[in-house]
């Protein structure tokens, strides 16, 4: 894939603008503090032109910009309207690693050089002048309160509380606004494109792991959904830093999201309608690997040009917990903790396997428990033949050790208008019964 570019409107007193790269529209009616999505652009020289929205395209500023191959840029429209200018910012990073990467850009035209640190006094960026982009620093995942001070003073000009930054992602903090007037100073911390875009051969380039086509935003034009990530060992099916992106078939704009659990094996996409609006949604399944055989799974739907999560395996697991007790006469009782529904499994055809835990009369020698494992499989199936998919969730029931499979909990989930609800829970003894 090519290079990517997005636009930030950071000119505090300017009204909405339109931004063009040669003939291509990058931004339409973009207002202060807002970003466009990243738009793919071929390498080359571009004339970047900014005009006030509704002004018939007359430029208020224009500048030339070289777009290098496999690059990612944020083009900021900065300065007061009478001195407006265009500032290309490279969002490319050499390697993402396991931590958060953060850089800072100072875009407040009436503010002196800045020091940016944490509330506990740790300084992160020192003496950053207006129009300067810092290098990336790394931080652990966490919720941060940033303090912005005028360099070498104790004058805190901005406190930015509760910034939840999660790894392994890349962020930029943009300081926008004015110190001495309105709009006030503010820090914007969007995700950088290098967290999820694929630029192929770039140092941070990600591989396409899977891609599928369907209309996912309901405009009748087929879109492309792709799952991209890194493959640290090319001979292994293990992938990490997975992200899912939708390329809008109509305008080639790309929206992406990073699933909370985004590393594992055999990651794949399935497109189909789950929430009954006759528009395909996106199911992502990633195997954990290891002996447990767990599955990380998410369903996303496109709503107002955003990827909205409508199924998260962690919520499913939290609501699908069971108690497993061996009972007399080779019976196992499986009780759903939430609602006390009880099922039983008959092991009388496997007496030999369990001869050491039962006496000759079939009485349990001592109390013994098994367990129901977290989600192990998630199958899209139109169980009621009405044209949309339900989800069949599979959890393995084990006895004394992981390899001792007693059966499976099969849960059928259906969309109820606002979320997935369980319409049926069954115990099956063979995997063929799915
Ligand atoms: Ca579409
Ligand atoms: Ca749908
Ligand atoms: Ca159905
Ligand atoms: Ca349904």
Ligand closest to 389 (CA) is 3
Ligand closest to 299 (CA) is 2
Q: Give the pLDDT mean for 262-266.
A: 93
The pLDDT, as a whole number, for residue 204 is 34
Q: What range does the domain containing 240 cover?
A: 207-309
For residues 265 and 380, state if they share a domain. no
- pLDDT (tens digit, 9 = 90+) per residue, 41-73? 888 899 999 999 988 878 999 999 988 877 899
314 CA to middle of ligand 4, Å? Answer: 21
Q: Give the pLDDT mean for 197-224.
A: 76
Ligand closest to 282 (CA) is 2
For residues 149 and 35, state if they share a domain. yes
The pLDDT, as a whole number, for residue 234 is 67
Q: Residue 375: pLDDT above 80?
A: yes
Please give the structure tokens belonging to residue 340.
């006390």
135 CA to middle of ligand 3, Å? Answer: 51
The pLDDT, as a whole number, for residue 167 is 77
Model confidence at 93, pLDDT cuts 50, 70, 90, reads confident
User: Which CB contacts under 8 angstroms, 24+ apart, belong to 61-68?
Assistant: 61/85, 61/86, 62/86, 65/21, 67/3, 67/5, 67/21, 67/41, 67/42, 67/43, 68/3, 68/43
For residues 303 and 328, state if they share a domain. no
Q: Which of 250, 280, 309 is where one domain is finished?
A: 309
Which CATH number belongs to the domain containing residue 230 in this structure? 2.40.128
Ligand closest to 384 (CA) is 3
Residues with CB under 5 A from ligand 2 (ion): 273, 275, 277, 279, 281
For residues 250 and 384, state if they share a domain. no
3-state secondary structure of 357: coil
For residues 163 and 99, state if they share a domain. yes
Residue 314 belongs to some domain of the structure: no
CB 264 within 8 A of CB 296: yes
Model confidence at 132, pLDDT cuts 50, 70, 90, reads very high
Ligand closest to 415 (CA) is 4
- pLDDT (tens digit, 9 = 90+) per residue, 405-417? 999 999 999 999 9
Q: Which of 152, 169, 195 is where one domain is finished?
A: 195
For residues 325 and 282, state if they share a domain. no
344 CA to middle of ligand 2, Å? Answer: 36
CB 249 within 8 A of CB 222: yes
283 CA to middle of ligand 2, Å? Answer: 11
Model confidence at 133, pLDDT cuts 50, 70, 90, reads very high
338 CA to middle of ligand 2, Å? Answer: 29
Highest mean pLDDT pick, 36-40, 118-122, 195-199, 320-324: 320-324
Model confidence at 180, pLDDT cuts 50, 70, 90, reads very high
Q: Residue 96: pLDDT above 90?
A: no
Ligand closest to 223 (CA) is 1
Question: Which range is least confidently modeled, 182-191, 198-207, 294-303?
Answer: 198-207
The pLDDT, as a whole number, for residue 206 is 65
Residue 96 belongs to some domain of the structure: yes
Ligand closest to 221 (CA) is 1
379 CA to middle of ligand 3, Å? Answer: 13
Q: Give the pLDDT mean for 28-40.
A: 94
Q: Residue 127: pLDDT above 70?
A: yes
Residues with CB under 5 A from ligand 4 (ion): 388, 414-415
Residue 410 belongs to some domain of the structure: yes
247 CA to middle of ligand 1, Å? Answer: 9
E strand or H helix at 117: strand 114-118
DSSP labels, 314-338: HHHHHH--EEEEEETTTEEEEEETT
For residues 217 and 331, state if they share a domain. no
Residue 381 belongs to some domain of the structure: yes
Ligand closest to 303 (CA) is 2
The pLDDT, as a whole number, for residue 249 is 87
305 CA to middle of ligand 1, Å? Answer: 10
For residues 83 and 185, state if they share a domain. yes
Q: Residue 197: pLDDT above 90?
A: no
Number of domains into which the chain is organized = 3
- pLDDT (tens digit, 9 = 90+) per residue, 269-300? 999 999 999 999 999 999 998 777 899 999 99
Q: Residue 434: pLDDT above 70?
A: no
Q: Which of 134, 164, 195 is where one domain is finished?
A: 195
382 CA to middle of ligand 2, Å? Answer: 13
316 CA to middle of ligand 4, Å? Answer: 17
- Is the overall model pTM greater than 0.85, yes or no? no
3-state secondary structure of 277: coil
The pLDDT, as a whole number, for residue 379 is 97
Ligand closest to 278 (CA) is 2
Ligand closest to 420 (CA) is 4
Residue 174 belongs to some domain of the structure: yes
For residues 166 and 82, state if they share a domain. yes
For residues 65 and 156, state if they share a domain. yes
302 CA to middle of ligand 3, Å? Answer: 19
């Amino acid at each position: 894939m090519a290079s990517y570019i997005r636009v930030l409107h950071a000119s505090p007193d300017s009204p909405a603008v339109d931004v063009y790269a040669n003939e291509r529209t990058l931004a339409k009616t973009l207002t202060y503090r807002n970003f466009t999505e990243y738009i793919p652009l071929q390498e080359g020289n571009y004339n970047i032109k900014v005009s006030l929205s509704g002004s018939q395209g007359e430029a208020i500023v224009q500048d030339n910009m070289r777009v290098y191959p496999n690059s990612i840029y944020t083009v900021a429209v900065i300065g007061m309207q009478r001195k407006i200018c265009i500032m290309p910012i490279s969002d490319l990073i050499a390697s993402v690693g396991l931590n958060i990467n953060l850089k800072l850009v100072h875009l407040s035209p009436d503010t002196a050089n800045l020091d940016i640190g944490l509330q506990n006094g740790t300084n992160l960026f020192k003496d950053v002048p207006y129009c300067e982009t810092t290098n990336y620093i790394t931080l652990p995942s966490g919720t941060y309160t940033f303090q912005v001070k005028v360099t070498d003073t104790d004058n805190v000009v901005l406190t930015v509380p509760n910034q939840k930054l999660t790894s392994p992602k890349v962020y930029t903090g943009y300081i926008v606004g004015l110190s001495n007037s309105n709009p006030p100073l503010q820090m914007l911390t969007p995700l950088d494109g290098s967290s999820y875009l694929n630029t192929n051969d770039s140092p941070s380039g990600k591989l396409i792991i899977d891609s599928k086509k369907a209309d996912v935003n309901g405009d009748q034009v087929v879109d492309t959904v792709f799952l991209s990530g890194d493959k640290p060992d090319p001979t292994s099916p293990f992938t990490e830093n997975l992200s899912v992106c939708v390329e809008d078939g109509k305008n080639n704009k790309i929206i992406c999201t990073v699933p909370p659990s985004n590393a594992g094996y055999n990651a794949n996409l399935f497109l189909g309608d789950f929430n009954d609006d006759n528009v395909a949604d996106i199911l992502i399944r990633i195997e954990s690997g290891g002996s447990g055989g767990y599955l990380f799974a998410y369903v996303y739907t496109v709503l107002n040009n955003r990827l909205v999560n409508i199924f998260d395996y962690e919520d499913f697991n939290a609501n699908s917990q069971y108690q497993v007790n061996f009972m007399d006469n080779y019976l196992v009782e499986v009780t759903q903790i939430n609602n006390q529904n009880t099922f039983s499994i008959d092991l009388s055809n496997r007496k030999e396997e369990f001869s050491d835990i039962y006496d000759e009369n079939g009485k349990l020698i001592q109390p013994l428990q098994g367990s129901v494992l977290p989600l192990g499989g998630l199958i899209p199936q139109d169980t009621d033949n009405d044209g949309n998919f339900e989800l069949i969730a599979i959890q393995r029931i084990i006895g004394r050790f992981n390899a001792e499979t007693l059966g499976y909990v099969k849960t059928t989930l259906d969309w109820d208008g606002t979320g997935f609800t369980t319409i049926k829970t069954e115990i099956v003894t063979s995997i063929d019964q799915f």
